[in-house]
Structure 1
Amino acid sequence: MSRPKRRAVDPSRLAAFEVLKAVRVDDGYTNLLLPALLARHGLAGRDAAFTTELASGTIRRQGTYDAVLAACIDRPLRKVEAKVLDALRLGTHQLLGMRVPTHAAIDTTVTLVRDQVNQGAAGFSNAVLRKVASQDLDAWLAQVAPDDLAVAHSHPAWVVEELRRALADRAEELPELLAADNDAPRVTLVARPGLAARDELPGTPTPYSPYGVVLDGGDPSSVVAVAEGRAGVQDEGSQLVALALAAAPVDGRDERWIDLCAGPGGKASLLAALAAQQGAALTGVELHHHRARLVARAASATAGLAGVVQADATRAPFADASADRILLDAPCTGLGALRRRPEARWRRRPADVTELVGLQRALLAEAIRVLRPGGALLYATCSPVLAETADVVTAALAEHPQVRLEDVSAHLPAVPDAEGPLPGTVQLWPHRHGTDAMFLALLRKA
């Protein structure tokens, strides 16, 4: 008697499983891992979109799903084999977070576990997922997280508290913000001025940036202007950072612009295009060689890029008071970009804030040294955490009495409801503006 033929593993589920493993084992980044894995498994179109949501959504909602799985397993999750737990999380997301039929979600996950682990683990996974499927997400949340925003919205508790503090007197918006962090981000394109027009890009115009569109679907690399480097993929919040600096008035000459932390090159590319239109040129500074190459490649289509310098921006290779405009998009926790960096919430620790604040203060002091009197300096972070935003700027103003804080909101008049934690600063929010939670502060040396 011939044995029944074993089911083949679904390539979409296998690719998502490999993403979770690489994130867990190699500290990989979901958005960087996906393109290569999609290509390796021959996934495109709807299959690629399914895999992307399966991997990214599972990582975003990991905290919630682990609470559900803990209620369905009679031993601590730490004692479940890591590969099996990865697969169970994928199955749980299909059951509770995607429109996948119950039988398909369970059967494909069990097949995946059988192929990647063993038959015993497959039987265990089948039993667990049938328990998960016994209730919908709302019912599970009522059971495992009736009054716990961190579990219900899948954020570490310390992150929830930092976001609550950043919302200040509008803390009632916290559930809405946490929910927005779990939404799949829209793909936004930017037409680099002087190189491309917004109306040649497919999609819906962005509400605040005159150069952006939200892509309706498809692969952005298939857009001609993107393939030619005349346009790029860039969140609208990042576009607004570049636009605010370019719009700020300066006294006297306006020729030398610097992006002190330019990698991987999105803001530098837009700034270089804007600089060219204003008769200026941008120099990018990047510490890491591979990121410096990305900056040069991203901005290669514009004449506004003077060059890319590989250097430590805390010891920038520029003379005192030599730059007319400076962008300091400082390294940060990235807690304002959790939609597109799903693994960041699980990797960051409170100690990271302290370490990054020290770096941010050193970078800002160096930017102030290089800025000439009358020039404009924009300090930005993709984090709303007060230690990285208001506290860094307040410390710089105290240490450098020749520097004053100006109203950056005046240069973004189309953006509503974006008051930052300091007068004149801007704080964008995913739940209010549909952007990453970018913070902007405009400084000028008297």
Structure 2
Amino acid sequence: MSSEHRADRPDNPERPADRPSGSEHRADRPHNSGRPRRPGGPGYGRTQDRDARTGRGPRGGRPPSDPARQAAYEAIAAVHRDDAYANLVLGDILRGMGLHGRDAAFATELTYGTLRAVGTLDLIIAAAAGRDVARIDPPARDALRLGAYQLLFTRVPAHAAVNQTVDLVRSVAPGAAGFANAVMRGISETSLDDWLARVAPGYDEDPVGHLAVVHHHPEWIIRAFSEALGGDLDDTARLLLEDNQPPTVHLCARPGRADAIELADAVGGVPGAFSPYAVYLHGGAPSDIPEVRDGRAHVQDEGSQLVAAALLAAPIEGRDTRWLDLCAGPGGKAGLLGSIAAQRGAEVTAVEVADHRARLVEQATAGLPVTVLPTDGRTVGRDPDLPEESFDRVLVDAPCTGLGSLRRRPESRWRRQPADLPPLTRLQRELLVAALRAVRPGGVVAYVTCSPHMVETQVTVTEGSRRSGVEVDFVDARPLLPPGMPKLGPGPTVQLWPHRHGTDAMFLAVLRRTS
């Protein structure tokens, strides 16, 4: 099986995605018990910390010879040392170091590529070093991961990758420079395909284990993807390949404030394939776009736009003026719902339990008919602002594992673990029950997750609707999406996929309350 694309300094770097859900657990765990332990972990001494704004090394260390590589190292180290999120920390580092253009693009490729491939890189480093990566000093370990990625997945010349990595290790872990030199030279003597043949199990004997190494995903995630894809491992492999590609940034042109075609022309992008509000951005920083700065557009995956719009496309009888977003942070879907509400004479109540995320929702919906409630969505019927049977349309964009957005959050694949599922699925069921109680008879609820895991999708919807105590009918979600969308399945629910639709793996179920 061929390896992923190789790139040097890409012109279209991966850009930061929406802020991760505040419910995410922060724990790096092994992707299976027989492979290297968690990236980073204990051992990061504060004496090894770097100044992310200046790029200077620890006292007595040598200054970096390549700012782009140094920026990538800072981001990778922060992810593993501090449980930081790459899409948040990298932008600060690039700005602090004054990196733009090709240097910023190169740093972004190195950061995201290394974090995506860390499980496979650790196997190769361990084989070349003759020791488990857990026994390597964490600063040196992250530098070796960065160097190995350059050797095996980019067109950086081998001598440059080796020399720069040794210089970096000499700066952050001076006593390990000789060791790093030996490991890097050992890695450089073997091609990526030969390394994969050496460290990965054979496909015939262990297809999931083989895919895990070749495509850099934990085995439990691959099994979850395969189950959602009907057990088709060939289709699963196509999904894994797409999961490892830098995603295109999607903008949402807010209806009533911006037109997608005009926005595409203004930013040098193209209109989206499916959402009437989507624009694909092929370069540049979204924060620099005037339409984004003044609230006429925002960054949002096309799949998120589609599932929010599907709620509003479901036919209902009678009143249609009170809408509820039960898990609104950080505000992307609330912003789209509010924009459409302004055109239809409706009002949106946006609920967000975390104070800082509630403030983000307020910022995202400024000037729109949206009221933000900083409360727990499960208090329907107990909170006077959330009475039962009072809303015409309800969106439940439930906190989840985020397995559908691994393209945008590369470190999440190694942080998440099966133990995260029980508390999340319990919360998902409780929020769906609250939504079904909040909606009036005849109204509709859209249950949405950015995860294709069956227990977060079909199981949660079935159990939540059963436990709600109200009668519901499933609405076929396929006609609620734009015509011409391929491979939407047999219904009534819909699962979007990166390799089929170019979106995050968003799940959508629409339920109508009948009693």
TM-score scaled by structure 1?
A: 0.95
Equivalent of residue 313 in structure 1, options 372, 377, 386 = 377
Aligned length in residues: 437
Corresponding residue number in structure 2 for 1:185 = 247
Equivalent of residue 296 in structure 1, options 362, 367, 376 = 362
8 A Cα contact 1:191 1:197, kept in partner: yes
Corresponding residue number in structure 1 for 2:16 = none
What whole-Å deviation, never above 9, does each CA across 1:327-374 have from its counterpart, x for those lacking one?
Answer: 100000001110001111111111111111100000000011101111
Q: Which amino acid aligns with 2:299?
A: V
Matching of residue 144 in structure 1 with residue 199 in structure 2: yes
Matching of residue 350 in structure 1 with residue 418 in structure 2: yes
8 A Cα contact 1:208 1:415, kept in partner: yes
Larger helix share, 1 or 2: 1
Corresponding residue number in structure 2 for 1:162 = 224
Corresponding residue number in structure 2 for 1:60 = 116
Matching of residue 261 in structure 1 with residue 316 in structure 2: no
8 A Cα contact 2:351 2:374, kept in partner: yes
Q: Superposed, which structure 2 residues align to 1:36-435 within 5 Å?
A: 36-118=92-174, 120-145=175-200, 146-147=202-203, 148-198=210-260, 199-201=262-264, 202=267, 203-300=269-366, 302-305=367-370, 307-316=371-380, 317=383, 318-399=386-467, 400-412=469-481, 413-419=483-489, 423-435=491-503
Distance 1:418 1:22 in 2: 39
After superposing the two structures, state which structure 1 stretch, 35-44 or 391-400, moved more. Answer: 391-400
8 A Cα contact 2:475 2:492, kept in partner: yes
Q: Which runs of 4+ in 1 moved over 4 A?
A: none
Structure with more contact order per residue of length (Cα contacts < 8 Å, sep ≥ 6): 2
8 A Cα contact 1:321 1:372, kept in partner: yes
SS in 2 for 1:333: coil
Shift in Å, 1:83 = 0.9
Distance 1:8 1:178 in 2: 34
Distance 2:245 2:251 in 1: 18
8 A Cα contact 2:394 2:446, kept in partner: yes
Distance 2:159 2:112 in 1: 22
SS in 1 for 2:251: strand
What whole-Å deviation, never above 9, does each CA across 1:177-231 have from its counterpart, x for those lacking one?
Answer: 1111111111111100001111223202111111111111111112110111110
Shift in Å, 1:320 = 0.8
- The alignment yields a C-alpha RMSD, in angstroms, of 1.5
After superposing the two structures, state which structure 1 stretch, 399-408 or 223-232, moved more. Answer: 399-408
Shift in Å, 1:76 = 1.5
Q: Percent identity?
A: 52
